[in-house]
């Protein structure tokens, strides 16, 4: 079986880390005899917007027909295109229109990465954030009234559907049930946000009944952020709404040293649409062009992609794909502990040096 990957570098350092992501994928593909076909996409970028006035061509769906996954760099270049235009016109559009309702974001402290938390060692921080990725607080619903006057008022609506809420909770419970610790933290703020969050709590309680083996812990987002800093070892799987998941999946990686290493998987677990794999970091205009961006998040996102593809029920045997994921992770661990480092980690290596080092290990380990 072969899978088809749309390669979308996007903007800024997305274009610099993508070649390293591909380099490592190639090394893994060779090693494990995986067949990947690539299709490079130059739209979903602010350059494309400058030329055409939109972020994506009208036939973007057709162009991506037949793709199994999108391997995505980063999008956004505020000096050229306002963020809401570039993001809602590409990344957020993919998440919604391809119904990638799970945003899975692993958080891990690695050996060799300076940790901002005192006295934490690898193993102390190792959990998964499961973020709802299609609804909730991220909407354009609402509006303004009495505009420009003293009594101007703005209403913003959040939308939580039963389907949308249940499916992300179910995914998180399943994930927790399959892990050693079987622990799930449910983020909420039902003591302040009085309509949607009590609903979220109710659905979580209902779902918990079907997973008696999973220990569930409901926490308000305010104290939960505090606990990420004070007690990171207590977390195993954390499930959260779109906004809360966004916050926790930046805060978590920061507690583990840097958001520069964090990967993410935007999944349609039912595989009706292609899933999207991207670093959590953005396009970083401030360092673009120097060749010093850290490619680990891009490479790790590629590993998540192989893992997801390998679990496709259409595959006779997905094991090589899962082993490829594990080997890439192992190579990342080794390079972070003891290999070339980009300046964000205190070294003077180039993006390419890190990519080559990881690819070499994937070939030889």
Ligand X SMILES: CC(C)[C@H](C(=O)O)[C@@H](O)C(=O)O
Measured CA to CA, the distance from residue 124 to residue 127 in angstroms comes to 9
Site string for its own copies, 285-304 (x = CB under 8 A): --------------------
The nearest distance, CB 229 to ligand X, in angstroms, is 16
Rg (the chain; Cα; Å): 20
Q: In sequence order, which residues have a C-beta less than 8 Å from that of residue 338 and are 6 or more positions away?
A: 112
233 near its own copies, judged by CB under 8 A? no
Residues between 226 and 265 with contacts to ligand X, criterion CB under 6 A? 246
How far is it, in rounded angstroms, from Cα 237 to Cα 221?
15
Choice from 123, 192, 289, 346 touching ligand X (CB under 6 A): 192
Q: Characterize the bridge pairing of strands 102-108 and 126-132.
A: antiparallel
324 interface partner picked from its own copies, ligand X, none, CB below 5 to 8 A per type:
none
Question: And the tokens for 182?
Answer: 């079987």
User: With respect to ligand X, which residue has the nearer C-beta, 51 or 191?
Assistant: 191
Report the candidate in 179, 185, 236, 241 with the shortest Cα–Cα distance to residue 208.
Answer: 185
The CA distance from 303 to 323, in Å, is 10
Contact partner, 334, from its own copies, ligand X, none, Cβ < 5-8 Å per class: none
Cβ atoms within 10 Å, residue 229: 12
The residue count for binding its own copies (CB under 8 A) is: 65
43 binds, among ligand X, its own copies, none (CB under 5 to 8 A by kind): none
Torsional sign, CA 218, 222, 228, 233 = negative
Contact 324, 31 (CB under 8 A): yes
Closer residue to ligand X in complex, CB, 5/224: 224
End-to-end CA distance of the chain: 25
276 close to 246: Cβ distance less than 8 angstroms: no
Which among its own copies, ligand X, none contacts residue 197 (Cβ within 5 to 8 A by kind)? Answer: its own copies
Residue closer to ligand X, measured from CB, 137 or 333: 137
Closer residue to its own copies, CB minimum distance, 92 or 215? 92
* Residue 198 binding: pick among ligand X, its own copies, none (C-beta 5-8 Å cut-off by kind): its own copies
The interface partner of residue 208, options being its own copies, ligand X, none and the CB cut-off 5 to 8 Å by kind, is: none
Which pair of structure tokens corresponds to residue 52?
Answer: 């055409």
In this structure, are residues 338 and 50 in contact, taking their beta carbons and an 8 Å threshold? no
Q: Considering only residues 222, 312, 326, 338, which one is a binding residue for its own copies as defined by CB under 8 A?
A: 222
Say how far apart CA 135 and CA 167 lie, in whole Å. Answer: 12
Cβ-based nearer residue to ligand X, 222 or 326: 222
Contact between 84 and its own copies by CB under 8 A: the answer reads yes
DSSP state for residue 265 in the 8-state scheme:
E
Sign of CA dihedral 189, 191, 194, 196: positive
Instruction: From 10-18, 186-194, 303-311, 324-332, give the range in contact with its own copies by CB under 8 A.
Output: 186-194
- Interface residue with its own copies among 28, 104, 169, 197 (CB under 8 A) is 197
Contact residues for its own copies (CB under 8 A)? 83-84, 87-88, 92, 115-119, 137-144, 146, 149-163, 189-199, 221-223, 225-227, 229-230, 242-243, 246-247, 249-251, 253-255, 258-259
Contact residues for ligand X (CB under 6 A)? 87, 92, 191-192, 222, 246, 280
């Amino acid at each position: 079986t072969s899978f088809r990957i749309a390669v979308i570098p996007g903007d800024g350092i997305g274009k610099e880390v993508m070649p390293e992501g591909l380099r490592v994928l190639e090394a893994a593909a060779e090693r494990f005899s995986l067949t990947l076909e690539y299709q490079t996409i130059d739209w979903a970028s602010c350059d494309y917007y400058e030329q055409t006035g939109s972020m994506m061509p009208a036939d973007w769906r057709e162009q991506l027909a037949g793709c199994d996954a999108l391997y995505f760099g980063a999008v956004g270049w505020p000096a050229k295109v306002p963020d809401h235009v570039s993001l809602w016109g590409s990344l957020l559009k993919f998440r919604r229109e391809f119904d990638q309702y799970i945003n899975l974001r692993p958080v891990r402290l690695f050996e060799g990465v300076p940790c901002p938390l005192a006295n934490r060692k690898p193993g102390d921080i190792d959990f998964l954030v499961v973020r709802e990725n299609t609804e909730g607080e991220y909407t354009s619903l609402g509006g303004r009234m009495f505009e420009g006057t003293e009594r101007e008022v703005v209403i913003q609506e959040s939308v939580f559907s039963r389907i949308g809420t249940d499916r992300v909770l179910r995914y998180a419970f399943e994930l927790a049930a399959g892990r050693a610790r079987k622990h799930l933290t449910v983020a909420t703020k039902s003591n302040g946000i009085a309509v949607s969050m009590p609903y979220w709590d109710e659905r979580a309680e209902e779902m918990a009944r079907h997973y008696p083996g999973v220990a569930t812990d409901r926490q308000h987002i305010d104290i939960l952020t505090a606990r990420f800093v004070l007690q990171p070892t207590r977390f195993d799987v954390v499930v959260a709404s779109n906004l809360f998941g966004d916050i926790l999946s930046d805060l978590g990686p920061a507690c583990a040293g840097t958001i520069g290493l964090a990967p993410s998987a935007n999944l349609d677990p039912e595989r009706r649409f292609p899933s999207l794999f991207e670093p959590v970091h953005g396009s970083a205009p401030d360092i673009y062009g120097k060749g010093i961006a850290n490619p680990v998040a891009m490479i790790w996102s590629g590993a998540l992609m192989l893992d997801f593809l390998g679990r496709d029920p259409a595959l006779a045997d997905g094991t090589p794909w899962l082993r490829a994921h594990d080997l890439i992770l192992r190579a990342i661990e080794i390079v972070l502990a003891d290999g070339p480092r980009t300046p964000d980690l205190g070294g003077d290596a180039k993006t390419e040096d890190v990519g080559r080092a990881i690819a070499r290990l994937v070939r030889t380990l």
